């Protein structure tokens, strides 16, 4: 059991509320209203801007070149892969990258991203990566589970682009590398006495992830 699995087990209820949220379930079975996905996707673009800042902060907090390279890889994934996916999908609704960037941040977006940045500013590199892990690794787990459940049906699924992107080998490798790097940081900086603090931090990040999904569902209801 690596440190990620230990954290997930310690915050099991919070993790379940995130990865098995109604938003995820509805996305998997194709019943998620487009308005919910659109609300989520636009806010997730803004979310990624702040997460890019978090990885830039991780570079500053790094004490080794290996840690710096890991932060650089995370930043590149956000700026060159994930944000491009969001722009491509939002173009279907006539939304440009400039319009996305000009959209006001929802309270759920602010709450989650500033929590992660605060963990990085007030804590060390391990604190920051524990706060980042539910998003980075969680998306890989969710997408892989949905893709496996859908099988060939994914080809005609309304959310095949999102599921396919995060279930594909390149992003799965990103998540794998993030877990391995988290293990390395824990080996250097974690004591058993500190584990409970990290688990609480991890659980809070998972709860904020669930709140982010909920924002999408409530956004769809507001559009009715």
Spatial separation of the C-alpha atoms in residues 131 and 209, rounded to whole Å:
11
More confident call, 222 vs 218? 218
Residue 209 is a catalytic residue: yes
Summarize pLDDT for 157-188 with one digit per residue, the tens: 999 999 999 999 999 999 999 999 999 999 99
Q: At what angle do helices 3-10 and 125-150 cross, to 10 degrees?
A: 80
Spatial separation of the C-alpha atoms in residues 171 and 114, rounded to whole Å:
24
Query: Active site residue: 82, 141, 165, 209, which one?
Result: 209
pLDDT at 32 over 80: yes
DSSP SS3 for 115: helix
pTM comes to 0.93
Spatial separation of the C-alpha atoms in residues 7 and 198, rounded to whole Å:
8
- Mean pLDDT computed over 204-211: 98
Work out the pLDDT band at 223, boundaries 50, 70, 90. Answer: low
Query: Active site residue: 82, 90, 119, 135, which one?
Result: 135
């Amino acid at each position: 059991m690596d440190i990620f699995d230990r954290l997930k087990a310690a915050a099991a209820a919070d993790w379940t509320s995130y990865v098995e949220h109604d938003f995820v379930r509805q996305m998997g079975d194709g019943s998620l209203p487009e308005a919910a996905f659109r609300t989520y996707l636009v806010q997730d673009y803004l979310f990624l801007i702040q997460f890019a800042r978090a990885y830039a902060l991780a570079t500053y907090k790094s004490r080794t070149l290996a840690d710096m390279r890991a932060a650089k890889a995370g930043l590149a994934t956000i700026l060159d892969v994930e944000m491009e996916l969001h722009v491509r999908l939002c173009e279907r609704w006539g939304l440009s990258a400039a319009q996305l960037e000009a959209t006001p941040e929802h309270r759920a977006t602010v709450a989650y991203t500033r929590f992660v940045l605060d963990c990085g500013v007030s804590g060390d590199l391990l604190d920051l990566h524990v706060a980042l892990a539910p998003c980075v690794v969680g998306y890989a787990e969710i997408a892989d589970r949905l893709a496996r459940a859908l099988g060939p049906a994914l080809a005609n699924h309304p959310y095949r682009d999102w599921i396919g992107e995060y279930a594909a080998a390149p992003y799965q490798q990103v998540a794998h590398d993030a877990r391995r790097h988290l293990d390395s940081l824990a080996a250097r900086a974690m004591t058993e006495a500190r584990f409970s603090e990290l688990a609480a931090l991890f659980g809070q990040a998972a709860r904020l992830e669930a709140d982010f999904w909920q924002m999408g569902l409530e956004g769809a209801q507001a559009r009715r």
